[in-house]
Amino acid sequence: MTPSHEISIRLLSAADEALVLSAAGLFDFSPMSDETRAFLSSDREFLWFAMANVQPVGFVSATSILHPDKPPHLFVNELAVHNNWRRRGVATKLMETVVAYGRENALWPVWLAAEGDDRNAQEFYRSLSDLSERGAIVFEWE
């Protein structure tokens, strides 16, 4: 298995649709062709893959959010790492990449919401430096 320091992080483009579709095991559900194509073609949606050689082992997706009274900011939609690659620095590299991208492209702040019962996610995000916790409550219509 590739050491974690040999993981590369890659911002995907519209040319990477087949790569996303081939990485179905990383997502909650299998990626859908039309939605994948639209996401990768958008200038407000971002998807980074963590690659071990040519194999995707994790991803983070984010969306640039616009509002009339605020500068653009970056919302992290989802972070996932294959079970065999967890606790090896992959998620940290992915999040460092997103934060750097947000700073470099004036998409600031970068923010996300963690599920209230997902203690692993909460502990991971708390372990990242330069982060503030706001105690928000998230409501969802399903």
| Segment 45-88, tens digit of pLDDT | 999 999 999 999 999 999 999 999 999 999 999 999 999 999 99
Does residue 28 lie within any of the structural domains?
yes
- What was the pLDDT predicted at 5? 61
**Stronger pLDDT, 22 or 120, i.e. the higher one:** 22
| Helix, coil or strand: residue 126 | helix
Q: Please tell me the total count of domains within the chain.
A: 1
Does residue 142 lie within any of the structural domains?
no
**Stronger pLDDT, 19 or 1, i.e. the higher one:** 19
pLDDT in tens, 99-134: 999 999 999 999 998 887 888 888 888 888 777 777
Does residue 134 lie within any of the structural domains?
no
Instruction: Please report the beta strands in 13-135, taking only residues with DSSP state E, as ranges in sequence order.
Output: 45-52, 55-67, 70-81, 110-111
pLDDT of 1 higher than 60: no
Does residue 137 lie within any of the structural domains?
no
The token pair that represents 136 in the structure block: 């928000």
Average pLDDT of span 6-12: 96
**CATH number (domain holding residue 57):** 3.40.630.30
Instruction: Please report the beta strands in 19-98, taking only residues with DSSP state E, as ranges in sequence order.
Output: 45-52, 55-67, 70-81
Does residue 132 lie within any of the structural domains?
no
**Stronger pLDDT, 10 or 3, i.e. the higher one:** 10
- What was the pLDDT predicted at 115? 81
- What was the pLDDT predicted at 129? 73
All residues at 6 or more sequence positions from 6 whose CB lies less than 8 Å from its CB, including other chains:
52
Instruction: Please report the beta strands in the chain, taking only residues with DSSP state E, as ranges in sequence order.
Output: 7-11, 45-52, 55-67, 70-81, 110-111
Q: What's the whole-model pTM score?
A: 0.90
- What was the pLDDT predicted at 37? 98
Does residue 57 lie within any of the structural domains?
yes
For residue 73, the enclosing domain spans 4-127
Dihedral sign, Cα of residue 17, residue 22, residue 28, residue 32:
positive
Does residue 102 lie within any of the structural domains?
yes
Does residue 107 lie within any of the structural domains?
yes
Please report, for residues 43, 52, 66, 89, the alpha-carbon distance to residue 20 in angstroms, rounded to integers and kept in the order given: 17, 15, 26, 21
- What was the pLDDT predicted at 44? 98
